[in-house]
A and B are shown apart, each in its own frame.
Chain A
Amino acid sequence: MNALPFPFHGETLHLMPSGALAWPARRLLCVADLHLGKADRIARQGGPMLPPYETVETLDRLADDIAATNPAEVICLGDSFDDLAAAQDLSEALKARLTRLMAGRRWIWVLGNHDPGPVDLGGTHLADHTAAPFTFRHIARDGARAEISGHYHPKARIALHGRKITRRCLLMDDTRLILPAYGAYTGGLFCDHPDLDRLMGDDAYAIVLGPVPLRLPMPRSSIRPARRKSST
């Protein structure tokens, strides 16, 4: 698989084409914002009835990445389920599928803003999780170091000779990584959005997903207030 290796705080991490983050030295796999059951939640709340295949699609991707990396530990970085009812309404077949993926590994559900609390699927539920030197949490915190988070669903827009390519991306600077959303039906926040612009230092990169993930300077808005300076 065409994963892109890159160094972060003395460790080598791999960004996979799917948006999963692998840490081979620790046999650890991390995915953010699965949003399982999103189509179901939207229909339940009276919204459109979207093709109800996004959970199976997301689990397919996860199964592929797990097969490719055989991790001892899997961290789901929050917003794993779109809401509590979505977790409860998961069909038996999908629950069984998920259980098979979890079997024989340490599985950590980091709590996200969509996650109402523990779900009865096994695994460990944590507000955040440390695997030195990294801290895994859902939403990035000001002043954090060696932090790996999700929540923002970053995506990048790159203009190429009059064409525009939009891809999900990972953002990184010397203090943090923000992972792309992993779920099939997840939109994104362009990385020139003020929220992301504020969080990321001047020397931030984006690694855009694709058949081969590619690293480039984080695309930023041409008009923006002064950013914080890099903290190192």
Chain B
Amino acid sequence: MTCTLAPEITGWFDARGWSIHPHQRAMLDRAGTACQLLIAPTGGGKTMAGFLPTLAELADGRHSGLHTLYISPLKALAADIKRNLTGPITEMGLPIRVEDRTGDTSAHAKRRQRADPPHILLTTPESLALLVSYEDAPRIFAGLQRVIVDEIHALAESKRGDQLMLALSRLSTLAPGLRRVGLSATVEDPPAIARILARHPDPCEILLADPGPDPDIAMLHTEAPPPWAGGGGKYAIPAVLDEIRKHRTTLIFHNTRAQAELFFHNLWLANDEQLPIGIHHGALAREQRERVEQAMVEGRLRAIVCTGSLDLGIDWGDVDLVIQIGAPKNVKRLVQRIGRANHRYNAPSKALIVPANRFEVIECTAALDAVRAHTLDGDIAHDGPLDVLCQHILIRASAGPFHADDLFAEIRSAGAYATLPREMFDRCLDFAATGGYALRAYDQWQRLVQRPDGQWQLRDPRRAARIRMNIGTIVDADKMQVRYQKRRGGAPLGEVEEYFASMLRKGDTFLIGGQIVRYEGLREMVVEVSRTTTQKPKIATFMGTKFATSTQLSDRILAMFRAGDWPDLPAHTRDWLHLQRKLSRLPERDRLLIESFPHDGREHVVAYGFAGRNAQQTLGLLITKRMEDMGLNPMGFVATDYATLIWGLDPLEDPAPLFSRHNLVETMEAWLADNAVMKRTFKASALIAGLIERNQPGAARKTGRQATFSTDILFDTLRKYDPDHLMLAITRTEAMRGLVDFGRIEDMLARIDDRIDHMRLARVSPLAAPLFLEPGRVPIAGAADQRLLEQEAARLMATAGLVEISA
């Protein structure tokens, strides 16, 4: 393989007085290896390092057809790379055609690309899965030499990544000798990423670029102390405005869209100088986002309030400060966000974190320590999820007939599926073919059939179109568009979740795209709103992602608690911890602190498990179930990243049986049986695996039509008539590691063993107090539902002046 650079390329570098970075050189020298992983900080010329070998190999103009496939997690990133690549290629005068292919590409361009692929194709995992599903995939990919997976750290832990790696397993068959390149931001465990990237059992070379200077990072100092609870960071607005004034361009990151909206709104109210500030998040309409992106590239904005939609390596120009509002929950994410500032190699990034509440002061301090110590959160190695595998089988079938043995071997070449048992593969294949039911009802309608030669194929080839319409592993809550009322096609503002929309009443005001709008009504799946002059939205939030604090960060916080004093903490927080130590005690890593106390006429129990929000939530459900069995009459609970607060009628005498690992799995099973979390997980997996379809040909989905019914019914039916069905097994696995996060509970309970410290207190402890202000209280459901409903029905009847009639 040639790795000498053509004079056009070296000349281009020379003309600009640039030299090739050492890691770019190294990538070039080893361009012939089967698999390479480059770990480099943001701004380290990663992308060029990935593409240089391609440019070198294509410089002589002899290769025809597709040479390099580039995959990024974001559409916007693919478009950005196209711009950044086309410029130099044109200036070098190289005979190379670069095109992107994403959900935004026109159908016409897509057809042309299949007939006549460019040399370099920039795409996303979903668009690639779609390409692989075409009958002409073998022809499209025949000459493919290299595949570059950008921001692989962002894909590695997600189902999108699993789907991508299955698609690559297919490409390695279609284009033997295909070389894989992964580009990653700084991660804790590069070999784990390498295992996912490489074709199993190929080795993967890991190149570590110079990480550059340490970031300049601190907590933002504010006049007012942060509030005891909440996540908005509103108290810090004057200080944040000061910082915006002092810098050229500031990125202000939030953990959820709702928080970003609220903060942006409040920022504008305080923005007396009319500094140009924009907002950017994934729920905004594309037109809105593009306007902000354009303004940013042109340097017209002084600040952008944003969420994870700006996390990845898009080059947004001259950012010189990153502000993180709210604890980052995860050190890796913080480091990557900090990397957004000073997008120049070897210049330190400048960042400020703003704790949103008192506890987050501690969390942010721990995160800062972790960044300075260069310890990142570990990667969770996982077995490839089976719902993604089921979809891949359908994708493979859409491309043409296959032998089960061949497909199995190919799938096992993907790192995450390297240990997949044949029996599991066969069950997934059976599911894809017949539905996999104990009652063999669909033998005449099955999706895949076996031909006399043993190959599997679609029973009806028209089915492929339907499968292609449903490719993808991102399952969002159902979203509804928000538009201004009046004429059909009023300006789009963004999206809200269907659930949120269903709770709105005419006249309600809420925030979207930084504006307060008034709900007018629904029209064909569109939420219609009007402008309003209200200063304060009536309904503050719509749902966004809530991240759980990583294990590593939790451990750091617990380690901090061991110290005798905390000179680095602001006085208000330091005093708070001292008071907790005096009146109760501080939680420790290998022990479990339980406090119980009366408050407001109710008994309360707090369990400081530090297991992250999801696990603490699950713990709340498990513990209240046990309390119910013990006759303690729990009434509800609320969970944060570090503790669960439970209230009820009777005092807790001995907490040990509540936290015993004995029967824990059984309690869990019983609880899982009929639980909203399971049903939500089931729906997501059922969509991915193809049990149900998101999109149907020719039929526009409308809310409330008789045709649609809740997936909860399917879940209940399967549990009743086919309890061993594959989808139920998948749902269990997914729930356990996802929303339920059972693993962290088991780890925690195993770690503490029987070391439980029960503090019986006369009143609320300092550490427990903020829990009372937490939103998201969960009432204990069950018989309560029906009682509430009865009360509400009676109230409504009385309000309406109706007498109860019964015969």
How many angstroms from the CA of A212 to the CA of B714 in the assembled complex? 23
Nearest opposing residue in chain B for A205, CB measure: B802
Q: B692 is contacted by which of A50, A52, A208, A211 (Cβ under 8 Å)? A: A50
A189 touches B709 (CB 8 A): no
Using CB atoms, name the residue of chain A closest to B439. A52
Q: How far is the CA of A160 from the CA of B787 in the complex (A)?
A: 11
Pairwise interchain contact B463-A48, C-beta atoms closer than 8 A: no
Contact A47 B785 (CB under 8 A): no
Asked if A157 and B792 make an inter-chain contact with CB atoms under 8 angstroms apart, the answer reads no
- Chain A's nearest CB lies how many Å from the CB of B691? 6
The CA-CA distance from A188 to B520 in the complex, in Å, is 24
Query: Given contacts A57-B721, A216-B797, is CB(A187)–CB(B789) below 8 Å?
Result: no
B786 interface residue (CB < 8 Å to A): yes
Residue A217 is within 8 A (CB to CB) of chain B in the complex? yes
The total of Cβ contacts below 8 Å across the A-B interface reads 132
**CB within 8 Å of A: which B498-524 residues:** 499, 502-503, 505-506, 520-521
Closest to A44 in B: B445
List residues of B (684-706) whose CB comes within 8 Å of A's CBs.
Answer: 690-693, 696, 703-706
B693 adjacent to A48 (CB under 8 Å): yes
**A contact residues, range:** 35 or more
Which residues of A in the span 173-193 have a Cβ within 8 Å of any Cβ on B?
181, 184-190, 193
Q: Which of A7, A210, A211, A217 contacts B800 (CB 8 A)?
A: A217
Q: Which residues of B contact A56 (CB under 8 A)?
A: 721
> At the interface, yes or no: A164 with Cβ under 8 Å from chain B?
yes
Given contacts A165-B789, A214-B793, contact A187 B445 (CB under 8 A): no
Q: Please, what's the 1-or-0 string for B112-149, where 1 marks a CB less than 8 Å from any CB in chain A?
A: 00000000000000000000000000000000000000
Q: How many B residues touch A, CB cutoff 8 Å?
A: 56
Confirm or deny: B491 has a beta carbon within 8 angstroms of a beta carbon on chain A: no
In the complex formed, the residue of A with least CB distance to B499 is A164
Contact with A along B449-476 (1 / 0, CB 8 A): 0000000000010110010000000000
A125 to B393 alpha-carbon distance, docked (Å)? 46
Say whether A187 contacts B706, CB under 8 Å: yes
The distance from the CB of B364 to the nearest CB of chain A, in whole angstroms, is 30
- Determine the distance from Cα of A222 to Cα of B522 in the docked complex, in whole angstroms: 11
Q: Among B463, B691, B705, B722, point to the contact of A189 (Cβ < 8 A).
A: B705
Q: Name which residue of chain B comes closest to A222, CB basis.
A: B506
Given A51-B721, A165-B785, A188-B709: A6 and B807 within 8 A (CB)? Answer: yes
Q: A43 at interface (Cβ–Cβ under 8 A)?
A: yes
Main secondary structure of the interface of A (DSSP, over half): mixed
The answer, yes or no, to whether B720 is at the interface (CB within 8 Å) is: yes
Residues of B within 8 A of A217 (CB): 796-797, 800, 802
B633 within 8 A of A: no
- The answer to the question of B561 belonging to the interface, with a C-beta cut-off of 8 Å to chain A, is no
Q: Which chain A residue shows the least CB distance to B686? A: A48
Q: Known contacts being A164-B502, A189-B705, A214-B789, is A49 close to B434, with CB within 8 Å?
A: yes
Measured between alpha carbons, how far is A40 from B437 in the docked complex, in Å? 13
* A215 is an interface residue with CB less than 8 A from chain B: yes
Is B790 in the interface zone, CB < 8 Å from A? yes
Query: Contact check: which of B435, B503, B691, B722 meets A164 at CB < 8 Å?
Result: B503
CB–CB B442/A49 < 8 A: yes
Are the C-beta atoms of A185 and B709 separated by less than 8 Å? Answer: yes
A49 touches B717 (CB 8 A): no
Enumerate chain A residues within 8 angstroms of B652, measured Cβ to Cβ: none
Whether a CB of chain B sits under 8 angstroms from the CB of A136 is: no
Residues of B within 8 A of A (CB): 434-435, 437, 439, 441-442, 445-447, 460, 462-463, 466, 499, 502-503, 505-506, 520-521, 690-693, 696, 703-710, 713-714, 717-718, 720-722, 725, 785-786, 788-790, 792-793, 796-797, 800, 802, 804-807
The 5 A-B residue pairs with the shortest CB-CB distance in the complex, in nearest-first order = A187-B709, A49-B435, A52-B441, A53-B721, A12-B807
Of the A-B pairs whose beta carbons lie under 8 Å apart in the complex, a sample of 12, sorted by A's number, is A48-B691, A49-B442, A53-B717, A53-B720, A54-B717, A158-B792, A160-B792, A187-B706, A189-B705, A210-B786, A215-B793, A223-B520
**Given A48-B693, A53-B720, 4 new contacts (CB under 8 A):** A7-B807, A43-B435, A48-B692, A222-B505
